[in-house]
Chains A and B, each alone.
Chain A
């Protein structure tokens, strides 16, 4: 799933794939589509908020991607170029309601302000002020059974946090790639990733607390 996320186009496999795609090799393109279409739809959903519109945006992305293959810069990863194509299409806003722009501004401001953990969980007085008064609820390794909860929590993140968290943690892009794709500084990218992960951890902790309480 992530095998090519960190494979630069300068490596032989990527160069061969690029040459095949430029040569209209349908088998190679079909495999590339099968490998990445689901990821495109998942990321497109951040912009559309609607599954059907996300599918449309993903299809527009494929059309833009194949048209732009001649312009893939040397050393660029094809997966990165594909997601860049999606962002370009999302910016056009022809076939969907773009709801992210103003929310992004809110989320970026929020990323600077909101604490990662409810301040009520820390002591406020005494020599240990700032230490945990209500430490994290214990939960172990997150197995397959937790995927629905994690996916649902991911959908609830503010758009900019969700974009960064999907690109970094789900798709495996590097910090530099995500910063470039989303036109963020690396500290901004890291702040959004931090808020996203913190909210997901908190959501899972809440799930475990509720589960423990219902036993």
Chain B
């Protein structure tokens, strides 16, 4: 059982996590959230997990590029060049 802040319940915190991370909370709610986080470990954990998801997404490897795809894209450039030439 968490020690929720009476003015900003945990149920509300999970709805404003992204606004908080993006710096889009109004100053009053930002202050309430900072106070809440001093008291509420589960909400700290929730926010850290959300950050962790964003970081992990950033590290997802890009799908590989096949030689066929590479050549097909180059062909588009060559077609355009051929059209451009007198």
Contacts and interface: CB of A to CB of B under 8 A. Distances in A.
Interface of A: 1-2, 24, 26, 29-30, 33-34, 37-39, 41-42, 55, 58-59, 62-63, 66-67, 115-117, 119, 122-123, 127-133, 135-136, 138-142, 144, 146-147, 150-151, 154, 165, 169-170, 172, 175, 190, 193-194, 197-198, 200-201, 204-205
A122 B80 contact: no
A165 B86 CA distance: 45
Nearest to A56: B72
Interface string B2-38: 1110100111101101110010100000000000000
A37 B69 contact: yes
18 contacts: A26-B78, A29-B77, A37-B70, A39-B62, A59-B72, A116-B14, A116-B17, A119-B11, A123-B1, A127-B6, A128-B6, A131-B9, A135-B45, A136-B49, A150-B57, A194-B18, A201-B49, A205-B49
Nearest to B65: A37
B14 A147 contact: no
B60 A131 contact: no
Given A24-B80, A62-B76, A197-B54, A38 B62 contact: yes
Interface of B: 1-4, 6, 9-12, 14-15, 17-19, 22, 24, 40-43, 45-46, 49-50, 52-65, 69-70, 72-74, 76-81, 84
A3 to B, nearest CB: 12
Given A63-B79, A130-B10, 13 more contacts: A1-B62, A24-B78, A37-B70, A38-B62, A115-B14, A116-B15, A116-B17, A130-B4, A130-B9, A130-B12, A142-B55, A142-B56, A169-B57
B74 A151 contact: no
Contacts of A33: 65, 69-70, 73-74
Contact of B62 (A42, A62, A117, A133): A42
B36 to A, nearest CB: 10
A150 B58 CA distance: 11
Contacts of B18: 190, 193-194, 197
B56 A154 contact: no
Contacts of B3: 128, 131
B45 A136 contact: yes
Given A66-B77, A136-B49, A41 B63 contact: yes
B76 A115 contact: no
Contact of B50 (A128, A135, A201): A201
